[in-house]
Structure 1
Amino acid sequence: MSAPVLTVADLGVRIGDRNIVSGIGFEVAREQTHGIVGESGSGKSMTVLAATGLLDAPGAVVTGSSTLAGAPVRQLVGASPRTLRAVHGGRIGFVFQDPGTSLNPLLTLERQITESVEAHRHSTRREARTRALELLEAVGLPDPEARLRSYPHQLSGGQRQRVMIAIALACDPELLIADEPTTALDVTTQAQIIELVRDLQRDFGAAVVWISHDLGVIGQVADDVTVLRDGAVVEQAAVTDVFDNPQQPYTRELLAARPRLGDAGPPPAPDAPVLLDVSGLDVTFSVDTPGGRTSVHAVQDLSFTIRRGTTLGLVGESGSGKSTVAAALTGQLRPAAGTATLDGTPVGDASMRRRISMVFQDPFSALNPRLSVATAIAEPLRTHRLADGRAARAARVAELLELVGLTPDFAKRYPHELSGGQRQRVCIARALAVEPELLILDESTASLDVSVQDRVLDLLARLQQELKLTFLFIAHDLAVVQRVSHDVLVMQAGRAVEFRPAAELFASPEQDYTRELLAAVPPERPRSWV
């Protein structure tokens, strides 16, 4: 192996009297990838921000050493702002988790890419534009010449992430930092981004530090792995050693929590009558584009049923129409054609406000930060007059919190005092407050750590058994869908591709698109890169 590009030794971060990160050390060499993995709050991002000089938390004190090799060698801990400006964007490129917030919505893609080229390479505007075009071609963006004039909102999530990678590689950096770059993406786009980074790493020769909460992803990208917990190293070894012979219980827990194809699904559901019957659903809506207002045919002639007490997994890539189906069933969008009935009653009926409830993807934005947990859960109780008086509402709130595995004292807390998994449990409790017949879960575990996701999926299975709930479970990850679903509906470009019992579909998928989705799920073993 060549000499390390980045060497981190005894790195520590202290804020006030609290040690956030302590004793972290690792190395990464040219054309190598070092994975940093752990749950939310383990110190992954804090470690890399401190090691690269990007940490800007009030009162933070960074100790230890972080050395960037090359000409000249730079000590990044304690470096001056002038030194860091010369390094960031030039010698170190960054790809962050959410390209939607990382890209400037007011600037074209061309300007966002050429900015760093002009600043670090002192290129002319013409040279920088040529470089931007080369990069968009390298990251596989379709019609790159036209895309130079596009704005971020005109791209899909996967396309925006490709642009972020182009910006990060604009000045041929020696080191690429990838902080959860695929977490918000569907599995096929995730697989494409992983493959793209590996190809570009080979072409550009950069060292990569890849941060993730998912050991399945790390197994696809990393040569070596550092497992963090509570700001300290739990385990550090070659990726194959971590998968084949994990030394620590925490590492084994992370490995066991990964969703994997082949895991047992729910027990067979007894024969039950149809609860939701959707026939010929067609949804069209208008959007603004550079060429003017245009119509999007989001869902086309879609039909399916859900039996009472069962789970239908609705799966497909981003843009396939999954969330549009949920919006149509909950009255957020008016279908252009088709019917949907819940136990014989049209879903547009006013009574559906209670009979269909929904849990959204992001628990951080689903709860009002100004409202306590008690107020958030009690709101639907007041709206639908399901509990008379404060005492009755408080008792029902406590009952709902216990139902989702939280103690009644959580009622006094505010969203910022909760972890991601706790927030999602509160969102589930709030959705259950109206005692719905159908619960729609729209990517409700996609943003969670795999270990937290594992516990939330167990919670949903328990609630379905105890309360005889019916679920519409929307997801892009077939491994998760297999674990929870009795039946599966696969969608692509607004149309149904396959609608079959889960056991049959996973045993023998009939359509190429379904097979592509299955192939994109990270395998149980690390990928061997040659």
Structure 2
Amino acid sequence: MTDPVLSVRDLRVGIGRREIVHGVSFDVHRGQTLGIVGESGSGKSMTVLAATGLLDAPGATVAGTSTLTTESGSVQLVGASNRRLRSVHGGQIGFVFQDPGTSLNPLLTLERQITESLEAHRKMGRQQARGRALELLTAVGLPDPETKLGAYPHQLSGGQKQRVMIAIAMACDPALLIADEPTTALDVTTQAQIIELVAQLQRDFGTAVVWISHDLGVIGQVADDVTVLRSGEAVEQASVSDVFDHPGHDYTRELLAARPLIGRDGPPAAPDASVLLDVAGLDVRFEISTPVGKSSVHAVKDLSFQIRRGTTLGLVGESGSGKSTVAAALTGLVQPDAGTATLDDVDVFGVRGSAQKAMRRRIGLVFQDPFSSVNPRARVAATISEPLIVHGLAKGRHARAQRVAELLDLVGLPSEYASRFPHELSGGERQRVSIARALAGEPDLLILDEATAALDVSVQARVLELLAKLQRELGLTYLFIAHDLAIVQQVSHDVLVMRDGAAVEYRPAAELFASPHDEYTRALLAAVPPERPRAVAPGAPK
């Protein structure tokens, strides 16, 4: 085997007096993918940023070596000058980060963002760089690439933005590609497309790839070798097949067990129950402004469904399918254009005044992002107390404090968390606070809008267990919105699959997963990472 493209030895990172990465070493060779996996806070991104010279944190120190070897020679990245790093970044090392929405410049066209590195590193003229940009957009599968050259990031979907980020990263044919959680914010179908796209580019150009993820299911689809990090330490390093077949560390086994997989048992069958929510003919349109005038988006089209008391309806589909619009309509955030919805025979859309306030209490909502759905300046007690005050459910400060303690216990948090601020909590703990706040109003129906999508798979598994426990003990009714059918199977009694605002399948979960009728449902199922990895030899084409 040839010399590694990137060789990291005894890498240590400190912030102030605290060491947070402890002597990590790894190699990645040409045409090979190294998967670095671990939960949030395990040191994955910090390790790779330090190894590539991108770490720029106050008081940070980096020790050890990180050697990049290309056809033009070797470069020691740890301790390299800014000028040397600028010559390497973009030219010999490409980067694809988690959120393409914040990685792309909103003020520049796609053409300018791609040609920038070509002009800087390859000294191309404007027309030559434009031609190369067009080739790259075509290679990453962006529709109508000629027109897209003049587009701005806000005119693209999330998956299209990530394809543009890959085009920028690959513009100068780098020897090394760093992919830091590049599919975490994407639908499973888009995730599968991005994984295949990177594999195809790797086959074409022989690029070495470091792929960072919290999900071993994704790592199993892309990697040859795996480094498992926990608290800044490499607890296991082996080939991907060995990690899946013979995990050597308890933490690795925990990550494997937490993966959402198709075929796992769903919730036990619910006894026959009355219908709690009945939605019929729901229709929602949005007026939008375009360069040629006003236009209308038909977000939800003649949608009908029912949710039985004490059960979970899984509402699944890709981004833009209309899932969150359904939740917004039921919670009064969007006014529907047509249709009816009744909760215990009470009109959800037609209530006004005090009856509307009472209806808002009966339908709780938990949002996707636990970091932005709670007030960063309010303590946990104030966050959970808000619905208690609004609906007059606990009179007096002592009664509210007691109820907050009960709700924290209900979601598995110590009572002392009441005095903490959101920044003192992990992502999973914040989501538990969000669930406690939603339960404070004692709702009949709890809507969970991608409530686990932003969490690590291990934290996600614990939150799903919590939701199942609450449903068993309190008889809660859920509308569970997600894009991942593996998670939906785990929690749902019935499943409604949406595409382009319309229902394509609506059946009991056991029947749908045993025999999906629609091609779109089968595509969603096929996009879920399987239990077994792509067992390939290191350096072999994928």
* Corresponding residue for residue 176 of structure 1: 177
Give how far 1:493 is off.
0.7
Aligned pairs, how many?
530
Q: Does 1:353 align with 2:353?
A: no
Find the counterpart in structure 1 of residue 331 from structure 2.
330
Task: Map 1:310-329 onto structure 2 (within 5 A).
Answer: 310-329=311-330
- Counterpart residue type for residue 72 of structure 1: G
For residues 253-276 of structure 1, the C-alpha deviation after alignment (integer angstroms, 9 at most, x for no partner) is 100110111111001001001111
> Once structures 1 and 2 are overlaid, which stretch shifts more, 111-120 or 500-509?
111-120
Partner residue in 2 for 1:450: 457
1:176-208 CA distance string (max 9 Å, x none): 000000001110000000000000111121100
- After TM superposition, list the pairs within 5 Å mapping 1:246-261 onto structure 2: 246-261=247-262
Q: How high is the sequence identity, in percent, across the aligned residues?
A: 76
How many angstroms apart in 1 are the aligned matches of 2:44 and 2:336?
A: 44
Q: 2:523 aligns with which of 507, 516, 526?
A: 516
Distance (whole Å) between structure 1 residues aligned to residue 142 and residue 17 of structure 2: 47
Q: CA deviation at 1:107?
A: 1.0
Say if 1:474 and 1:238 are closer, same or farther in 2 by CA, change over 3 A.
same
Residues 1:240 and 2:241 aligned together: yes
* Residues 140-173 of structure 1 deviation map (CA, whole Å, 9 limit, x = unaligned): 0000001111111111110010000001011111
Give the corresponding residue for 1:278: 279
Q: Distance in 1 between matches of 2:522 and 2:223?
A: 25
Could you tell me which residue of structure 2 aligns to residue 53 of structure 1? 53
Normalising by the residue count of structure 1, what TM-score does the alignment of the two structures yield?
0.99
Q: 1:96-495 to 2 correspondence within 5 Å?
A: 96-348=97-349, 349=351, 350=356, 351-495=358-502
Q: Kindly report the root-mean-square deviation, in angstroms, between the aligned alpha carbons of the 2 structures.
A: 0.8
TM-fit CA distance, 1:528: 3.7
Aligned to 2:68: 68
Task: Give the superposition deviation at 1:380.
Answer: 1.1
Where does residue 27 of structure 1 map in the other structure? 27
Q: Given that residues 68 and 74 in structure 2 are in contact (C-alpha distance below 8 angstroms), is that contact kept between their aligned partners in structure 1?
A: yes
1:253 is matched by which residue type in structure 2? E
Q: In 2, distance between residues paired with 1:219 and 1:289?
A: 42
How far is the alpha carbon of 1:289 from its aligned partner?
3.4
Aligned-partner Cα distance in 2 for 1:146–1:384: 52
CA change 1:390–1:184 in 2 (3 A) is same
Tell me if 1:526 matches 2:533: yes
CA displacement at 1:106 relative to structure 2:
1.1
* Residue pair 1:177, 1:210 contacting (<8 A) in 2 also: yes
1:9 and 2:16 matched: no
Conserved 8 A contact 2:179-2:209: yes
> Which region of structure 1 is more displaced relative to structure 2, 376-385 or 496-505?
376-385
Q: Distance in 1 between matches of 2:193 and 2:333?
A: 32
AA matched with 2:140: V
Quote the offset at 1:3 in angstroms.
2.2
Residues 229-272 of structure 1: CA distance to partner in whole angstroms, max 9, x if unpaired?
00001000000000000011110010011011111100100100
Instruction: Give per-residue Cα distances to partners, 1:479-502, cap 9 Å, x unaligned.
Output: 000000000000011110100000
User: How far apart, in 2, do the equivalents of 1:287 and 1:111 lie?
Assistant: 27
- 1:72 to partner: Cα distance: 2.9
Task: Report the AA paired with residue 482 of structure 2.
Answer: A
Q: For 1:288 and 1:519, how far apart are their aligned partners in 2? A: 36
The separation in 1 between residues aligned to 2:224 and 2:468, in whole angstroms, is 36
Distance (Å, rounded) in 1 between the aligned partners of 2:293 and 2:186 = 28
TM-score (norm 2): 0.97
Q: Is the 8 A contact 2:240 2:535 kept in 1?
A: no
Measure the CA separation in 2 of the matches of 1:527 and 1:513: 24
Q: 1:262 to 1:393 in 2, by over 3 A?
A: same
**Which runs of 5 or more residues in structure 2 are unaligned?**
537-541
Deviation at 1:383, TM superposition (A): 1.1
Q: Structure 1 pair 290/171, CA: closer, same or farther in 2 (3 Å)?
A: farther
Conserved 8 A contact 1:239-1:526: yes
* Alignment partner, residue 539 of structure 2: none
Classify the secondary structure of the residue corresponding to 2:115: helix
Residue-by-residue CA offset, 1:52-92 (whole Å, 9 max, x unaligned): 00000100000000000021311000110000111111110
Distance (whole Å) between structure 2 residues aligned to residue 402 and residue 252 of structure 1: 28
Which amino acid in 2 is paired with 1:503?
A
> Does the Cα contact within 8 Å between 1:154 and 1:289 map onto a contact in 2?
no
Return the alpha-carbon distance in structure 1 between the equivalents of residues 225 and 288 of structure 2: 45
Q: Secondary structure at the match of 2:371?
A: helix
Q: CA deviation at 1:33?
A: 0.2
Residue 116 (structure 1) shift: 1.0
